[in-house]
């Protein structure tokens, strides 16, 4: 049979759906909404009882809700307005989980409404491939259902990596999913893995007054960041009492009824009330029976896709954490939307923006967009630096958010903005002002914009004007 006749035969088949999407996180949602708007018959399959995926239930939303509560607690206890009138407040981890649970409920209700209004069928069950167009769905009651679709999207996300020699069933050993079930109030915690998740939880626990040991397998924190941002975070954690151990690897974990002892390959050993293992994530593909569809995941459970998020099997697409970088909820939603566009229009050229912003919700936050100083230096691009410190801004003084800075990197000759890096409260919000200017074309992206425009006063946005003036003063 020729390829054209095979394709014709496929178009003649009566499938149950135009598209079935496995997973209801940001990637699955972005795909479903775009397809539904184009009048496609769409179903989503979710193995958990509620929509939202890991992002809503175990990852982004709960951890950021926890961080917000702890950040406000720190503000209260450090604000001179309240000092001396009341004793310092103390909240336990279970206390602040209540706020996170409330946010999760609201997000589930909101996202369920999206699917209902757009007539996307929500199927609860565990999906696996029978062939490239057919899925077996195992329901909670054990019943089976077979569903077919012209196209299938894998948006199953990822889960924390769990080494086989560590007992994650022990009540004192957690990963970044199960830490949300922590019911006791630990006085000390060891966090293994100083990536984004480990650094965020180090901030959260230290903000609650817990003694934190942060074990970093590399030689610096978050090495993908601009060095000054990484150094700022390291100093701030150290200054708040977090002990950071760089270049270390776990040899074994000894868990007892009342403590966890971590033995490191360097010969060191550490003791704490509990362990949070946050070193790596794995794509959720192990239970999909990919081989039946002609697919194979790599060693990290991830799938390879082309520029249109199409896998090696023509009618199967994949988006989100299951394809790896950049593993951001924001990017996953856009990947889903772009994949849907490609599924509808094979000639689609839409792509993700080149400069995707990064938001890291430590206390304080870090956010960046564009190139780092290291990257520009290595590429021999003549750049200059403009800086502003939050402690000099009126709004920061009013809100007592004095820790932090904004850095703008720009080309010496063209004055084009090449990168923006921010450390401090609300950094992930502030960065978008600079990002919007960086996206301007035909000469609209220059640092002079921040000098020539008028900002509200007092605002944190003023940091851009101060940094721009600082940078332009360096030119000669």
Are 63 and 201 in contact by the 8 Å Cβ rule? The answer is yes
Strand (E) or helix (H) holding 417: strand 417-424
Confirm or deny that 150 is annotated as ligand binding: no
Q: What are phi and psi of 74, to 5 degrees?
A: -60, -45
Radius of gyration of the chain (CA): 24
- CA–CA separation, 460 and 464 (whole Å): 8
- CA–CA separation, 126 and 287 (whole Å): 8
Residue from 310, 307, 316 nearest 289 by CA = 316
Strand (E) or helix (H) holding 120: none
- Residue 306, by phi and psi: left (phi above 0), alpha (psi -120 to 50) or beta? beta
Of how many residues is the chain composed? 476
Q: Half-sphere exposure of 398 toward its Cβ, with a 13 Å CA cutoff?
A: 7
| β-strand partners of 444 | none
Confirm or deny that 407 is annotated as ligand binding: no
Confirm or deny that 76 is annotated as ligand binding: no
Confirm or deny that 28 is annotated as ligand binding: no
Q: What is the DSSP letter of 453?
A: S
Confirm or deny that 157 is annotated as ligand binding: yes
Confirm or deny that 194 is annotated as ligand binding: yes
Angle, nearest 10°, between helix axes 26-37 and 329-344? 30
Through-space distance between the first and last CA atoms of the chain, rounded to whole angstroms:
70
Confirm or deny that 48 is annotated as ligand binding: yes
- CA–CA separation, 260 and 192 (whole Å): 12
Confirm or deny that 49 is annotated as ligand binding: yes
Are 395 and 335 in contact by the 8 Å Cβ rule? The answer is no
Confirm or deny that 46 is annotated as ligand binding: yes
- CA–CA separation, 115 and 205 (whole Å): 36
- CA–CA separation, 376 and 456 (whole Å): 32
Are 201 and 363 in contact by the 8 Å Cβ rule? The answer is no
Confirm or deny that 372 is annotated as ligand binding: no
Confirm or deny that 197 is annotated as ligand binding: yes
Confirm or deny that 156 is annotated as ligand binding: yes
Confirm or deny that 195 is annotated as ligand binding: yes
- Give whole-number Cα distances, 202 to 67, 135, 424, in Å: 10, 41, 16
Confirm or deny that 321 is annotated as ligand binding: yes
Q: What is the DSSP letter of 145?
A: E
- CA–CA separation, 383 and 407 (whole Å): 12
Confirm or deny that 51 is annotated as ligand binding: yes
Are 440 and 433 in contact by the 8 Å Cβ rule? The answer is no
- Give whole-number Cα distances, 11 to 4, 319, 396, 418, in Å: 11, 24, 61, 47
Confirm or deny that 207 is annotated as ligand binding: no
Confirm or deny that 54 is annotated as ligand binding: yes
User: Annotated binding site for NAD(+), which residues?
Assistant: 193-200, 280
User: Annotated binding site for FAD, which residues?
Assistant: 46-55, 64, 156-158, 321
User: Annotated binding site, which residues?
Assistant: 46-55, 64, 156-158, 193-200, 280, 321
């Amino acid at each position: 049979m020729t390829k054209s006749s095979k394709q014709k035969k496929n178009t003649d088949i009566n499938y149950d759906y135009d598209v079935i999407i496995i997973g209801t996180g940001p990637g699955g949602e972005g795909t479903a909404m775009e397809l539904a708007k184009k009048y496609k018959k769409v179903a989503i399959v979710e193995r958990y009882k509620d929509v939202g995926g890991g992002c809503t239930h175990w990852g982004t939303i709960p951890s950021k809700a926890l961080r917000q509560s702890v950040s406000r607690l720190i503000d209260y206890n450090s604000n001179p307005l309240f000092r001396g009138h009341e004793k310092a407040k103390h909240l336990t981890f279970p206390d602040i989980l209540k706020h996170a649970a409330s946010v999760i409920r609201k997000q589930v209700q909101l996202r369920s409404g999206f699917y209902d209004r757009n007539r996307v069928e929500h199927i609860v069950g565990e999906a696996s491939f029978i062939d490239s167009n057919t899925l077996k769905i195992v329901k909670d009651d054990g019943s089976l259902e077979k569903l077919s679709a012209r196209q299938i999207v894998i948006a199953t996300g990822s889960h924390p990596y769990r080494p086989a020699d560590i007992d994650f069933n022990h009540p004192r050993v957690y990963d970044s999913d199960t830490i949300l079930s922590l019911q006791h109030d630990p006085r000390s915690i060891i966090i293994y893995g100083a990536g984004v998740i480990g650094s965020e939880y180090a901030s959260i626990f230290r903000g609650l007054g817990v003694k934190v040991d942060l074990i970093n397998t590399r030689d610096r924190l978050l090495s993908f960041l601009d060095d000054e941002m990484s150094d700022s975070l390291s100093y701030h954690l150290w200054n708040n009492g977090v002990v950071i151990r760089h270049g270390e690897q776990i040899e074994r974990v000894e868990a007892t009824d009342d403590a966890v002892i971590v033995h490191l390959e360097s010969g060191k050993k550490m003791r704490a009330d509990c362990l949070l293992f946050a070193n790596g994530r794995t794509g959720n593909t192990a239970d999909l029976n990919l081989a039946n569809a002609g697919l194979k995941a790599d060693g990290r459970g991830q799938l390879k896709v082309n520029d249109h998020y199409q896998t090696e099997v023509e009618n199967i697409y994949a988006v989100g954490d299951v394809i790896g970088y950049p593993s951001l909820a924001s990017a996953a939603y856009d990947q889903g939307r772009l994949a849907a566009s490609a599924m509808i229009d094979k000639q689609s050229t839409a792509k993700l923006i080149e400069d995707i912003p990064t938001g890291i919700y430590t206390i304080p936050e870090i956010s960046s967009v564009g190139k780092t100083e290291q990257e520009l230096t290595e590429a021999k691009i003549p750049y200059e630096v403009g800086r502003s410190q939050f402690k000099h801004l009126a709004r920061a003084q009013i809100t007592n958010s004095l820790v932090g800075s904004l850095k703008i990197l720009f080309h010496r000759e063209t004055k084009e903005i090449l990168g923006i890096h921010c450390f401090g409260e609300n950094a992930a919000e502030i960065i978008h002002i600079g990002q919007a200017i960086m996206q301007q074309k035909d000469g609209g992206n220059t640092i002079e914009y921040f000098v020539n425009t008028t900002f509200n006063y007092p605002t944190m946005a003023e940091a851009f004007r101060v940094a721009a003036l600082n940078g332009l003063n360096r030119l000669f």
